[in-house]
Each structure stands twice: as C-alpha cells, then as structure tokens.
C-alpha cells in the first residue's frame, strides 16, 4: 500500500476533482464525512494552493479522484444547479475547514443554509439577528467570507441591507452571476 492509499480505518482520506460550471472551474474536495471544500476559479495555480491548504489543514495529502461517489454526486448536483434544474443541494457536508465551526461562523452558515432558499436573499444584519446577535452584521460578513463550501452553502444570498450586493470571496462578477441564475438580479449585461 503506497502513501496515497489509506484504508477505510486510517486518517481522513481527502479526494478532489475539478469540475466545470457556469461560473468557471470549481475545485471540489471531500472527506469520508462529506463535501469539505468548494473553491472558485480553480485554475492550476489556484488548485495547487487549495490542495496545499487542504493537506496542511486536514493532515493528509488530497488524492485526485473524480470517480469518487461523493464527488461525482456533488458534480452532478452542481451541473443541475447551473442548468436551473436544481434549487437545493442534498449532500453530506464536512465542516472541518470552518474555524470555530461550533461558534458564530458555524451558526451563521448553518442558519443561512437552513432558512434562505434559492431565489431569495437576506441582509447581513437580518442574518445576525436570526442567530441571536442583532447588530453583528460585520461578523456575518466575516462568517460568509470563511465559508469553505460556497454555492452549496449559499453565502452569495447574503446582501447589504441598502440594496448593495456586498462582498464575495469568489469576486463580484461571480456573486452577480449566481444571483442572476437564481432570478434575484437581472442577467449581467457584460
């Protein structure tokens, strides 16, 4: 058995694949627990940095495995989402990369995933209130920025209360494209 092969009972095996999407290549990574990371703009350089970060954070070298059942299912669901044929993701999630996953960031992301459906948006301040921290809009922004599972956990649906669309780790064009796909914004002109 070489170093890349770990049996079912050893440490957390991490598998990954890059898939095409309506917003460019996405790196998907999973552990035995579930999907652990979605990374935007997965060019070679971005992919290599993401894989090094995964190895460092999870303590095991990620193995390319596009045929992994979990990655194949995630790719299938993402493809259906970008084709406007799916509104919800039904995938096991592994929150290992979320710092303070039991704390505010985890609460805010879980609340978002549970209560802000496809085609709707929520303000940073409103989401803060929903997790019992009214006035913590800025902390919600930080939590959304820490989201290791964008698109699947829809941080693109969190916007500014004044009508601005707010920041986004994947870039503003990506956020606009996702909101347009869901019918929240008009399609971008360019």
Q: Which one of the listed residues 93, 155, 158, 179 is annotated catalytic?
A: 155
- Separation CA 167–CA 159 (nearest Å): 8
The answer to whether 175 touches 182, Cβ cutoff 8 Å, is no
Active site residue 49: no
CB-based contacts of 159, cutoff 8 Å, min separation 6:
121, 122, 123, 124, 165, 166
Cα separations (Å) of 58 from 29, 35, 98, 121? Answer: 11, 13, 11, 32
CB-based contacts of 44, cutoff 8 Å, min separation 6:
none
The answer to whether 41 touches 168, Cβ cutoff 8 Å, is no
- Separation CA 73–CA 69 (nearest Å): 6
The answer to whether 168 touches 155, Cβ cutoff 8 Å, is yes
- Separation CA 163–CA 10 (nearest Å): 49
Question: Can you name the residues that pair with 22 across neighbouring β-strands?
Answer: 24
Where in the sequence numbering do the catalytic residues fall?
155
């Amino acid at each position: 058995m070489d170093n890349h092969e770990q049996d079912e009972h050893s440490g957390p095996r991490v598998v990954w694949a890059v898939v095409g999407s309506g917003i460019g290549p996405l790196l998907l990574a999973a552990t035995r627990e579930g999907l652990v990371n979605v990374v935007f703009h997965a060019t070679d350089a971005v992919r290599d940095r993401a894989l090094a970060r995964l190895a460092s954070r999870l303590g095991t070298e990620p193995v390319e495995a596009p045929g992994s059942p979990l990655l194949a299912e995630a790719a299938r669901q993402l493809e259906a989402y970008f084709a406007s044929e799916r509104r919800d993701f039904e995938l096991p999630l592994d929150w290992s990369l979320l710092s303070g996953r039991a704390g505010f960031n985890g609460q805010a992301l879980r609340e978002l995933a549970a209560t802000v459906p496809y085609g709707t948006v929520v303000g940073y301040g409103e989401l803060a209130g929903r997790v019992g921290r009214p006035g913590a809009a800025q902390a919600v922004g930080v939590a959304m920025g820490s989201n290791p599972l964008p698109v699947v956990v829809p941080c693109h649906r969190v916007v500014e209360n004044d009508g601005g669309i707010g920041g986004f780790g994947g870039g503003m064009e990506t956020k606009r494209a996702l909101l347009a796909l869901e019918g929240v914004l008009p399609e971008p002109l360019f």
